[in-house]
């Protein structure tokens, strides 16, 4: 067993309340839940996600990923998904960690590792998200990172180098290609990853399939085929899903419906309301603070 109970207890003690708790490391968040959480919509950020206790299920289109102690999940792009927390109770709550991907640090590591090409052969990834087995070096780096959080000076001086080590160990692992995909302009990245990055940056305006295909350097039909193979949805379905998830997040933060409608790229409030209700089952005005915090 790679994850031991002492690490679970340390991470649990960092949590200020149920849900998400930021840490002294800006890219690292702690998640705790004493109750199982049914599938609910959320936006999965580019991150390396660890479950120390309990189990998490992520559903993206027709594909689902499960991870629990001794496995971890890499997500290389922003993805609208559904997620649930399983196998927990008040005596054994869900405990998880999420380390956001620092593209600058990952890019630097990739350049350094390219000098050792004969030892760092990367497996091509056919997806943008994947769960895989936790290795001892990754577990050790994660434990060191958690340990420095309790000492402000240690955290300030050592945390960045430990995060770098963790990224390095993930890059060396069987799904390291996914972490490479998070650096959108790297030549070896999956062809669809830069397209998804472009959508992330421009979904709030009126982008169409022809523009996305031009960015991808593909025909519309070829883009549709490759994009759906990787993400399980079409490019325009992805745009719509990202807009609606962003809208629900804004509504939960107190924004007015009309402000949200135009803010996420809709020109018609009635169309926005129809599509929001069709997607989430409730109207925008009735949307509650239910954006998932179970990362």
Q: pLDDT value at position 266?
A: 92
User: pLDDT tens, 242-294?
Assistant: 899 889 888 888 888 999 999 999 989 999 999 999 988 888 888 754 444 55
Say how far apart CA 15 and CA 180 lie, in whole Å: 31
228 contacts 189 by C-beta, under 8 angstroms: no
- Give CA 11 to chain center in angstroms: 20
Q: Which two tokens stand for residue 281?
A: 């089952």
pLDDT tens-digit series, residues 118-148: 555 555 555 788 899 999 999 999 999 999 9
Rounded to two decimals, the pTM is 0.77
Q: Are 206 and 262 in contact (CB under 8 A)?
A: no
pLDDT of residue 76: 86
Report DSSP state, residue 174: T
Query: Is the confidence at residue 207, as pLDDT, over 80?
Result: yes
Q: What is the pLDDT of residue 292?
A: 45
Structural domains in the chain plus CATH codes: 5-181 (2.60.120), 194-286 (1.10.10.60)
Does the pLDDT of residue 188 top 50, yes or no?
no
CA distances from 115 to 67, 108, 120, 125, 187 (A): 33, 12, 9, 21, 15
Q: For residue 187, what pLDDT is reported? A: 39
List C-alpha distances in Å: 192 to 11, 148, 240, 292: 35, 37, 17, 26
Q: Taking a C-beta distance cutoff of 8 angstroms, is the pair 52, 7 a contact? A: yes
- The owner of tokens 């972490």 is 179
Could you tell me where the DSSP H helices lie in the chain?
Answer: 5-14, 103-113, 136-148, 152-172, 176-181, 192-202, 209-216, 220-231, 235-252, 257-263, 269-280
pLDDT digits (tens, 9 = 90+) for 8-20: 999 999 998 898 9
Taking alpha carbons only, the member of 163, 146, 158, 151 closest to residue 10 is: 146
Summary mean pLDDT of the chain: 86
């Amino acid at each position: 067993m790679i994850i031991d109970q002492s690490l679970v207890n340390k991470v649990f003690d960092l949590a200020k309340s149920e849900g998400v708790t930021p840490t002294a490391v800006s890219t690292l968040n702690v998640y705790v839940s004493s109750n199982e959480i049914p599938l609910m919509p959320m936006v999965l950020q580019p991150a390396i996600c660890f479950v120390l206790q309990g189990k998490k299920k992520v559903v993206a289109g027709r594909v689902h990923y499960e991870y629990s102690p001794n496995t971890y999940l890499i997500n290389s792009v922003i993805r609208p998904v559904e997620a649930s927390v399983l196998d927990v109770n008040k005596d054994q709550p869900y405990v998880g960690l999420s380390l956001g991907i620092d593209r600058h640090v990952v890019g630097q590591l990739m350049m350094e590792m390219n000098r050792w090409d004969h030892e760092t052969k990367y497996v091509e990834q056919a997806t943008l998200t994947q769960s895989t087995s936790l290795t001892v070096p990754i577990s050790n780096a994660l434990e060191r990172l958690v340990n420095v959080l309790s000492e402000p000076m240690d955290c300030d001086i050592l945390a960045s180098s430990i995060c770098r080590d963790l990224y390095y160990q993930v890059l060396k692992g069987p799904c390291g290609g996914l972490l490479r995909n998070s650096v959108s302009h790297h030549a070896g990245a999956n062809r669809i990853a830069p397209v998804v990055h472009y959508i992330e940056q421009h979904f709030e305006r009126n982008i169409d399939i022809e523009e996305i295909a031009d960015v991808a350097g593909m025909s519309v039909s070829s883009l549709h085929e490759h994009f759906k193979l990787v993400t399980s949805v079409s490019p325009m379905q992805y745009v719509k899903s990202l807009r609606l998830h962003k809208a629900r997040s804004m509504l939960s933060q107190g924004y007015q419906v009309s402000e949200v409608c135009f803010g996420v790229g809709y020109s018609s409030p009635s169309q926005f309301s129809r599509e929001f209700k069709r997607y989430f089952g409730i109207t925008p005005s009735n949307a509650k603070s239910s954006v998932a915090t179970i990362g």
